[in-house]
Structure 1
Amino acid sequence: MNLEQLKIFIHTAETLNFSRTAKDMHLSQSAVSQSVNSLENELGIKLFTRDTHRVVLTRPGQSFYGSSIKLLINFEDMLQTVKNLDTAEKTNLVLGMLGTPLDNTVMPWVIRDFNRLYPEIKISIRYFTHDELEHALANKVIDAAIQTADDVATNAYFHLFAEGKFAAIIANNEPLAIRTELSIRSLDYHNLIFLLESQCSPQQKELQQKIAELCSNSTIYYANNYLEELAMAKTALGICILPFIKLAGFPQKDELVSALPIRESSEIGYGVVTKGKAINPATTTFINWIEQNKLS
């Protein structure tokens, strides 16, 4: 028994006319008869009674017709599901981000430019805390993550597309905001907003510890994630420390805050992180494009 035999049987059961089935399915009448006879022989039952005047479904034939319809529908549903999954792998890309200034300022431009070239690839963006992002990548909730190079798990792959430094994000009404760069000691006596150490990349954790040591007269507040940290800075609750990339064409300040690189900060690398080499075609296309169009 094969799918073609089922289709011929179903059509014949619905038309009760071998000639009509042959015409509709672009077959010879003998081919239809042979297919039905072969199916009956395989099942060991008569599906139709037929004479020179009419064709009638037997009771077993009626039962087999109902089961065949369900089988064909399930088979076609299965095929469509598989095709949808294949299409999704080729055209869907889910990116996970932490909410850094890069994620909120540069990445929208990057994604827009990418979509101009690859409009068939649909990108979704999801924000996570540090721990959530690592878990989402490990469990394939996302296809790729945007992270700093120092924070990549040993079993993950990092694809560099930009480099920068950590910056102090400071409200524009603060006197320090007129500067183009800050030293760590210039932050002393100012309220500071740190990211919880459990949510920090290794470089950010090290820098925060150094700032805390050198700015003993500052009050330090802690945020649970980058988005919270940035929101606190924008409401002038303090100066926060975030990864930052200074790029031509991208503003170093907005209407509320300015990003001032910290002189003592080491270089940080940004890139796309994937869990393994077995990534979907949409992710591969994005990574290849990113690596060919590095931002700095």
Structure 2
Amino acid sequence: MQFLHKAIGGAMQIEHLKEFLLLASNMSFTKTSAETYQTQSTLSRHIAAIEEEIGAKLFIRDTHHVRLTEIGKAFYEDSQITVEDFDRSMRHVESLKKRGEILRIGYLYDAARGLLPLISEAILRSNSNIVPEYQALEYGDLMQRLRQRQIDLCVTLDIDPDLGDSFCRVYIGRDTYYATMPKDHELAGRESVTLEDLSKQPIIFPDPKAMGAINAYYRRALKASEYGIEPAAYYKDIPSLAYQVECGMGLALVFRHHQERYGDRIAFVPIADLAQSCRVCIMWDKRIENVVQGSWVQELRALEK
């Protein structure tokens, strides 16, 4: 651990260590910069600063691959412990200030809004000392914070196959894509539309950098390759998408749960030949179970449908 001791004794920022851990997990500067909402050059500078501070290279980079050096592998193991200890210490400080064990809950806006009371009751039943702390987030930001352990659990759509087995899931509902368009659009009065109907229209896609997993899910749902569908525009959040659709910039796929909020402004039409749906789940990193005590895991699992 000599490299890590030297680094922590210097000016290294804990957020840069978290970026290093994410990069070591992704092995992709492109993916990591997207998930941390910064440019690749900024990420590279942060990694270079760590390497300069410890006096050793952490990654081997060539045209097609990124991989850890032997020192990088050792630094990765030590950094995980350091970041977890730091997060645990900060949580302890916060819990002392609030006289309770904080459980940071991120949720996906309207997809989770109606479920929060049920989830909150289950958590509070498990331990009266737990203080739930809520954050409403867009999908990309929500999943980034979960990966970086800036939130403890989230209520979200289970659409990202890259999360792996280190995350626990409790399934509490389902959601389905609808086509959305201006209320005066020629397709708006139909009982349903088809993918072929949509392929003839300009389609607004999720931004691949801010919402990579949803972008990939979106393409699969639309069968974009089969129908030759290319983005007419991009969106980074649902309020912006609703505005773009309302202004006639294109049609879009949105999950049914958004209809309650935006149905008075834009039309929502079922898609007859789209069987694509996903499950709504409560998700958390298994490691948090050792940090936040109580029977909250059992209480949440009892909610599964």
TM-score scaled by structure 2?
0.53
Q: Name the counterpart of 1:200.
A: 212
- Match of residue 161, structure 1, among 172, 175, 178: 172
Matched, 1:224 2:236: yes
Paired amino acid for 1:180: E
Q: Could you say which residue in structure 2 is the equivalent of 1:136?
A: 145
Partner residue, 2:154: 145
Match 1:239 to one of 240, 247, 251: 251
| Equivalent position amino acid for 1:244 in 2 | R
1:255 Cα offset (Å): 0.8
Instruction: Give the direction of change, closer, same or farther, for the CA distance of 1:115–1:267 in structure 2 (3 Å limit).
Output: closer
Mapped partners of 2:99, 2:182: distance in 1: 46
Verify the 8 A CA contact 2:181 2:250 in the aligned structure 1: yes
CA distance in 2, matches of 1:83, 1:107: 25
SS at match of 1:233: helix
Cα distance in 2, alignment partners of residues 231 and 291 from structure 1: 39
Shift of 1:129: 5.2
Residue segments in structure 2 that go unaligned for 5+ positions in a row? 1-91
Q: Which runs of 5+ in 1 are unaligned?
A: 1-79, 98-102
When Rg is computed on C-alpha atoms for both structures, the one with the higher figure is 1
Equivalent of residue 112 in structure 2, options 92, 107, 120:
107
Question: Tell me, what secondary structure is at the counterpart of 2:150?
Answer: coil
| CA shift in 2, pair 1:158/1:258, >3 Å | farther
Question: Which position in structure 1 is the counterpart of 2:36?
Answer: none
Contact 1:166 1:242 in 2 (8 A): yes
Alpha-carbon contact 1:189-1:219 (below 8 Å) kept? no
For residues 240-278 of structure 1, give each alpha carbon's deviation from its aligned partner in whole angstroms, at most 9, with x where no partner exists.
Answer: 1123359xxx85972112333322242311212211153
Relative to 1, partners in 2 of residues 1:129 and 1:283: Cα closer, same or farther, differing over 3 Å?
Answer: farther
| AA at the equivalent of 1:140 | R
Structure 1 residue aligned with 2:278: 268
**d(CA) in 2 for partners of 1:203, 1:283:** 35
Q: Which residue of 2 aligns with 1:288?
A: 299
| Higher mean C-alpha deviation, range 171-180 or range 155-164 | 171-180
What is the number of equivalent residue pairs in this alignment?
202
Whether 1:174 and 2:179 are equivalent positions in the alignment is no
| Contact 1:189/1:215 (8 A) holds in 2 | no
* Compared CA separation, residues 183 and 82, structure 1 to 2 (3 A): closer
- How far apart are 1:175 and its partner, in Å? 3.1
Q: 1:238 to 1:282 in 2, by over 3 A?
A: farther
**Aligned equivalents of 1:151, 1:123: Cα separation in 2:** 24
- Measure the CA separation in 2 of the matches of 1:226 and 1:287: 33
Counterparts of 1:82 and 1:197, CA distance in 2 = 35
- 2:157–2:280 contact (8 Å) kept in structure 1: yes
Aligned counterparts of 1:180 and 1:285: Cα–Cα separation in 2: 43
Contact 1:114–1:286 at 8 Å: present in 2 too? no
State how far apart, in whole Å, the 1-side matches of 2:145 and 2:104 are: 14
TM-score (norm 1): 0.54
User: How far does residue 237 in structure 1 lie from its aligned partner after superposition?
Assistant: 2.6
* Corresponding residue for residue 278 of structure 1: 288
Counterpart amino acid of residue 104 in structure 2: L
Task: Report the Cα offset of residue 147 of structure 1.
Answer: 3.0
Match of 1:8 in 2: none
Tell me, yes or no, if the aligned pair for 1:192 and 1:220 is still in contact at 8 Å.
yes
Label 1:159 to 1:242 Cα distance change in 2 as closer, same or farther (>3 A): same
CA contact (8 A) 2:233 2:249 kept: no
Letter in 2 for 1:232: Q
TM-aligned CA distance change 1:267 to 1:141, over 3 Å: same
